[in-house]
Structure formats: C-alpha cells, structure tokens
Amino acid sequence: MIVTKTQTVSVNINGVEFNIDIDVAIKAGIAKPVRTHKIGNYYRDIKTGVIYILVSYGGYSRVSLVFLTGIMTGYRVQTIDLPNINKITEAEFTYVANGMELEQIDNPLVK
C-alpha cells in the first residue's frame, strides 16, 4: 500500500474557514505559482516571438516593457507609475503588458 501525504492550507473568506488540498488545486489549474516581476527581467511574446525587457525610469517610479527585438526596438509598450518598483504585482504587470501573452525567459543576450 502506498501512502501519500497531501498538503492542505486553511483559508478564511468572509468568516468561513476552507481547507484546500494544494495538490488537487494545482492539478485542477486553480492554484498557480506566483510570478514575480522584477526590473531587468526578459519576456518573449508567445505569439510573435518579440523579446522585451522590464525597465524603470523617470525617477525610478515608472515601469515599462521595452522592445529588444523587432521593428519597434527601443520603444516602450505601456507605462505605469508605481509606488514600489521592487514589488510589481501581477495586475500591474498585466497592465504594462497591454494584453500580450508573455513568458518570462533568461537573458537572450548571454550564450
């Protein structure tokens, strides 16, 4: 007999306590790893293959993706002013990505 240990977490939502089986939630696609977005990360557009870098400028409070490849090289995609560029949330990154489906990649300039 194989015994497996499952990991659960308790979550309180509006006063109701829920026990969530992490393995089941991951397999169902409900629980996903938290992506962290940091200045200097590289991203590739899944549809076009264009590569971007996440940069800050304007007194270090503005964040944008900048084209590294393609006909728009050097141009910014979408800009957002953030209170803390060291903690870029998924919602903030989604705004900066402007609807693109991006995957985080390693530095494409290093071989």
Extents of the domains making up the chain: 1-33, 42-105
pTM of the model: 0.68
Side-chain half-sphere CA neighbours of 52 within 13 A:
29
Helix (H, G, I), strand (E, B) or coil at 96: helix
62-75 pLDDT tens trace? 999 999 998 998 89
Helix H segments across the chain? 22-27, 90-97
Q: Could you give the CA distance from residue 61 to residue 53 in angstroms, rounded to a whole number?
A: 16
> Six-digit token pair at 25?
């939630």
In tens, the pLDDT along 25-68 reads 888 888 777 667 899 999 999 999 999 999 998 777 899 999 99
